[in-house]
Every structure is written in structure tokens, then in C-alpha cells.
């Protein structure tokens, strides 16, 4: 730790604190995540171990880089590359207006990072604006892999208590424990809409029931015809019957191609949602540029 000097606290979460720091050996600005270890018998928290192990595997321009891990007395320091802000702060600073070229660039970069994760059999499971970092050059970095999981064949049964509520897919909200990369695509679609709407969250539910109600009001209440098997998930639950809204009312600032891509990402039936790779091939991204234009 002698190599690093904390400059300022930049964030605090359930499991620890993040500082902006400088590496005196190299002069580089870094981010230090200080993880609390409350009980010596418990050892390093599982979420921290998971994040460290996965980020050692993942090397991609749109995924935050892990530099070092320092294990001291009752604390763990994880050293990451430093980014100026997260996407939530970026959107707040834009005060309701984000240029369409930035929406296109940020969404493309997020999907690039996600496609890389999925190709390495990793689900992120918590895609939110707070977990997406933005550099001063307008580069997007996917971060916070504490809830991420490896997946493979046979498909494992996962926890339904994942993904921040506003970005959680309807299948997971309904209690599905067999899910795949489609849950990350739904979250990304929510962020795509949020960016295009100037930083306004698309589905700000108060609890699980309210979240599902908002989703069904926009995308329609599902049935067996559009989502085979949904009746089992909705068993013993009574939801009003809503017809889907016009996408033009949901994302009015997106062009026709953007609206089409948004619809492909926000299909209620998870088996019919597009993949990250398919989304990247969409005509909406023709001529996209990375970073700020």
C-alpha cells in the first residue's frame, strides 16, 4: 500500500469504499476499492473473490481493468483503472439532453463489453448506470462484477434476487431461476432508453409488483401466445390486462432504427430477445464512433 496515496473518496457502497488515488511508482491515477473484512473467520467476502477472479480473466477495452490486489490486516484493497465518473453522474450532468451520437456510441460500447463477457460464459447480472463507468474520452467501461456468474451447459439454477430492481427483466421478477444472457440484454435495453430519454429511468418501480405493472403497461401483459410457459410463472398472481404502448411514445428521441433495436432487446419472452452480438450487427450502429465526437 506504500505505493498508493488516497486523494479523495469517490464512492461508498454496501461492501466498501472507493477512493481516487495515485500510484507514486508510476504517477498513474487509479481507483482503490477498500473492502471491509468484518470477521476473520469469514475471510475475503465471496463477492470480492468473484470480482477478482472474473476480472483477471476479462481483458477488454470496455471492461474496467484490474491492476492489483492487496490483502492486509482486516481489509482488502482492489486497484482498478480510474474513470472520471459513472453513467448515472454523466446523465445527471447532462440535465435531460444527451446527443443522439453519444447515445449510439455508449450503447454500442456497452454491448461490446457485454458480448465479450457472454462469449466467455459470464453473466454480469447487475447492469445499471452506477456500474458503468465513463472516461474523460467518452469510453465506456463495464464494472462491478460482484454479482456476476459463470454459466454453461447444463444450465444452472440461479438466484432470482439479482439486478437492481429498475433494470431487472420480467422473467426474473416473476421468479425464474433458469435464465441466461437475456437478463443482461433487458438491462441494457433499459439503459439504452434512459440515455435516449436524457437520463430519465424507463421503469422506476417501487417494488417487484409495481415494477411488473409498469413493464406490462408499456410492453403489454404477456400470455401463452406471446410467451409460452409464462402462465406457470404467473401462477396464483393476478395482473391487469394491458395492451402494449407505441414504442414512439416510450423512446420518442430514437430514430426508426433505434426504436427497432430497442424492441428487439425488450421482448418479454427471454428466449426471443436478441443477443449482444446480434444487437451489434443492427443497422442502428452503422457508422458508429467510439468515445466523444
Q: Which residues are annotated as a binding site for ATP?
A: 33
Instruction: State the catalytic residue, choosing from 126, 139, 144, 184.
Output: 126
Q: Quote the CA–CA distance of 237 and 228 in Å, as a whole number.
A: 17
What angle do the packed helices 182-196 and 100-119 form, to 10 degrees?
170
Asked if residues 245 and 144 have their Cβ atoms less than 8 Å apart, the reply is no
Report how far residue 106's alpha carbon sits from residue 100's, in angstroms, rounded to the nearest whole number. 10
- Respond yes or no: is residue 126 known to be catalytic: yes
- Half-sphere exposure (Cβ direction) of 133: Cα atoms closer than 13 Å: 20
DSSP 8-state symbol, 19:
E
Sheet holding 4-12, edge to edge: 4-12, 16-23, 29-36, 75-81, 66-72
Rounded to a whole number of angstroms, the distance between the first and last alpha carbons of the chain is 38
DSSP 8-class letter at 63: B
- State the catalytic residues: 126
Amino acid at each position: 500500500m506504500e505505493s498508493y496515496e488516497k486523494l479523495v473518496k469517490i464512492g461508498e457502497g454496501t461492501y466498501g469504499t472507493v477512493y481516487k488515488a495515485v500510484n507514486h511508482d508510476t504517477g498513474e491515477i487509479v481507483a482503490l476499492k477498500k473492502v471491509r473484512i468484518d470477521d476473520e473467520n469469514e475471510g475475503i467476502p465471496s463477492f470480492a473473490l468473484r470480482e477478482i477472479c472474473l476480472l483477471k480473466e476479462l481483458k477488454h477495452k470496455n471492461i474496467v481493468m484490474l491492476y492489483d490486489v492487496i490483502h492486509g490486516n482486516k481489509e482488502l484493497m482492489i486497484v482498478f483503472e480510474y474513470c472520471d465518473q459513472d453513467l448515472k453522474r454523466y446523465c445527471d450532468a447532462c440535465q435531460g439532453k444527451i446527443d443522439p451520437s453519444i447515445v449510439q456510441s455508449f450503447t454500442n460500447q456497452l454491448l461490446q463489453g457485454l458480448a465479450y463477457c457472454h462469449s466467455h460464459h459470464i453473466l454480469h447480472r447487475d447492469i445499471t448506470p452506477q456500474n458503468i463507468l465513463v472516461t474523460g474520452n467518452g469510453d465506456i467501461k463495464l464494472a462491478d462484477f460482484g454479482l456476476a456468474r459463470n454459466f454453461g451447459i447444463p444450465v444452472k439454477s440461479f438466484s432470482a434476487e439479482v439486478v437492481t430492481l429498475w433494470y431487472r427483466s420480467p422473467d426474473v421478477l416473476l421468479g425464474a431461476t433458469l435464465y441466461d444472457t437475456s437478463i443482461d440484454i433487458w438491462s441494457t435495453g433499459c439503459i439504452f432508453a434512459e440515455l435516449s430519454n436524457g437520463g430519465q429511468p424507463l421503469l422506476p418501480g417501487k417494488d417487484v409488483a409495481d415494477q411488473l405493472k409498469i413493464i406490462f403497461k408499456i410492453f403489454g401483459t404477456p400470455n401463452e401466445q406471446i410467451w409460452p410457459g409464462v402462465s406457470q410463472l404467473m401462477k396464483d398472481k393476478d395482473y391487469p390486462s394491458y395492451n402494449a404502448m407505441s414504442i414512439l411514445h416510450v423512446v420518442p428521441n430514437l430514430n426508426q432504427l433505434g426504436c427497432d433495436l430497442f424492441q428487439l432487446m425488450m421482448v418479454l419472452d427471454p428466449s426471443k430477445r436478441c443477443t449482444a452480438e446480434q444487437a451489434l450487427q443492427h443497422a442502428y450502429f452503422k457508422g458508429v464512433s467510439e468515445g466523444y465526437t
